Amino acid sequence: MNFFLYNIQYITFQLKNLNQRFKRIKNTIIIINKDKMDKDTQAQKFKVVFLGNQSVGKTPIISRMNNGNFDGDSSPSIGVDFCSKTLIFNEKLIRIQIWDTAGQERFRSLIPSYIKDSSAAVICYDITNEKSFQDVEKWIYMVQELTGDQTLIYILGNKIDLEENRKIKMEEAKAKVQKFGHKFYEVSAKNGHNIPEFLNQLAADLLGNAK
């Protein structure tokens, strides 16, 4: 038995222990240290693409999801970046490949091929920036044109730590998003608000959709 399988058995054992002790391990995410993962993991893999106008905070949201940090000095993305996150959800191993696209217009032509390939698209806007919210609709149409109903779509309103500068009311955003039937979260990459909840939902939906 190789080292990786041994690790999984050990983790499963620990999960069962936790289950007995806290009786609430189901539907919670446990992050696995990526360095300890074998490359030939049995994890189910899903591609997720992040979309949205420039400066809405896509890269900081991804960093917060990935390593729990916030870098206040992040610079605009160039092209498309990639990272991978492995986690356990409901005792299942899941690997999410995250594509971080650049919001600047000059990189737009790169984006469609990443959308076509993805199980989920996360469309972000900035609650302090009206244009970024208006453009959410364009992003939704772009995904739908390319994939029909094949791709799960999530809408994230970022920067809710800047409540005093809010331009988009939560009710307004909810109404618009519900019209399209997508899931919606207000988050903050800066203080981490609602990021675990979003990640939990994403993992549940991806596994729920997996055949």
Cα 16 to chain centroid distance, Å, stands at 27
- Helix H or strand E segment including 45: strand 44-51
Q: How far is the CB of 31 from ligand GTP (least distance, A)?
A: 20
> Does residue 77 touch Mg ion according to CB under 5 A?
yes
Site string (9-48) toward Mg ion, x via CB under 5 A: ----------------------------------------
127-130: long-range pairs with CB below 8 Å, 24+? 127/157, 127/158, 127/159, 127/160, 127/162, 127/166, 127/167, 127/168, 127/173, 127/186, 128/159, 128/162, 128/165, 128/166, 128/167, 128/168, 129/53, 129/55, 129/56, 129/167, 130/167, 130/168
> Does residue 53 touch Mg ion according to CB under 5 A?
no
> Does residue 162 touch ligand GTP according to CB under 6 A?
yes
> Does residue 66 touch ligand GTP according to CB under 6 A?
no
Site string (172-201) toward ligand GTP, x via CB under 6 A: ----------------xxx-----------
> Does residue 59 touch Mg ion according to CB under 5 A?
yes
Order across the sheet with 80-89: list the strands: 29-31, 80-89, 92-101, 44-51, 120-126, 152-158, 183-186
User: Would you say 66 or 74 has its CB closer to ligand GTP?
Assistant: 74
> Does residue 121 touch ligand GTP according to CB under 6 A?
no
> Does residue 158 touch Mg ion according to CB under 5 A?
no
Q: How far is the CB of 75 from ligand GTP (least distance, A)?
A: 6
> Does residue 159 touch ligand GTP according to CB under 6 A?
yes
Q: Which stretch binds ligand GTP (CB under 6 A): 16-24, 97-105, 114-122, 195-203?
A: 97-105
From residue 128, alpha-carbon distances to 24, 57, 58, 164, 188 in Å are 37, 12, 15, 9, 12
Residues that bind ligand GTP (CB under 6 A): 52, 54-60, 72, 74, 76-77, 102-104, 158-159, 161-162, 188-190
Binding region for Mg ion (CB under 5 A): 58-59, 77
